[in-house]
Structure 1
Amino acid sequence: MLSKISTFFQSLGTAAEQSEKDISLELACSVLLCEVMLADGKQGPDEQQKLSELLQQQFHLSNQQTHEIISLALSLCENATDFYQFTKTINENYSLQQRITMVDLLWKMAYADGELASIEEHIIRKIADLLHLRHSEFIQTKLHNRAK
């Protein structure tokens, strides 16, 4: 009985480790962008178009690849309990400047519909903290995108 319980918990740990390994850099960034897009409860065509543009520009994806990664990212958004698994992938693969660029993309996503909801700003702040950015870098990217 005890061995069955032990095996069960080990299999849970293995599944969680495997799912973290399966998250590509593109997918991790896509999930975070989708989280910002969905934050205010409105998912308009402007935001969907902006998401596709940002992913294609940042990762040089085809239309088909972009569509697939957005579908997968939206699915992961529904089941995610936090941002850590995604920001961990970014922290392990991106330099400081690339992480600042990632936050810049999040602001572009937040401003895609022409207005900034407080929940979008809150989510970007949480992500910036998890990406180990200073407050000044967070504010600088915000001001850079608000001026546009």
Structure 2
Amino acid sequence: MLSILKKLISDIEQDHQTDQYSIEAACTALLCEVMRADGHLDAEEKSKLNEIISDKFSLTAQETAEIIEESMALSDQAIDLYQFTSVINQHYNTEQRIEVVKLLWQLAYADQELAAIEQHTIRKISDLLHLRHSEYIQAKQAIGLP
């Protein structure tokens, strides 16, 4: 019985290790979560998402489209945000995580509207990225938002 339990735990750990996403997919999935938070997929937000991903990761138009498509699917299937933020926490230092939050703010404000649910989603992501409240505010103000 104990050996069966050990095998089950080992299998779960191996599955979890193979479920890791690329840093590009993790960042893009979080951006997709913010973009869809208010229930509207505006053309401005889609365009800004393409611009952000292409610039941030130096991707071609086709690579950008592929990573967005993959990340939208990951976001659809996600049960939480931790699976994405944990990848970012493993690969990025504090300054880089603040930059990710700046990108989230840029995308949320791409349609010149900032819905409360978008702000809440960014705050939740910021917490999962282990950023202090002052760093969350700093990221927001860095892109010109009050």
TM-score by length of 1: 0.89
Cα deviation for residue 145 of structure 1 reads: 2.3
Cα deviation for residue 86 of structure 1 reads: 0.9
Gaps of 5+ in 2: none
Given candidates 39, 42, 59, the residue that maps to 2:40 is 42
Written as runs of structure 1 = structure 2, the 5 A alignment for 1:43-122 is 43-122=41-120
Identity %: 48
> What is the rounded CA distance, in whole Å, between the counterparts of 1:101 and 1:64 in structure 2?
24
* Aligned CA-pair RMSD: 2.0
Q: Is the 8 A contact 1:32 1:86 kept in 2?
A: yes
Q: Deviations over 1:90-133 (max 9, x none)?
A: 11111111111000000001001110011110110011111111
Higher fraction of helix:
1
Q: Is the 8 A contact 1:111 1:146 kept in 2?
A: no
The one-letter code of the counterpart of 1:139 is I
> What is the rounded CA distance, in whole Å, between the counterparts of 1:9 and 1:117 in structure 2?
42
The one-letter code of the counterpart of 1:101 is E
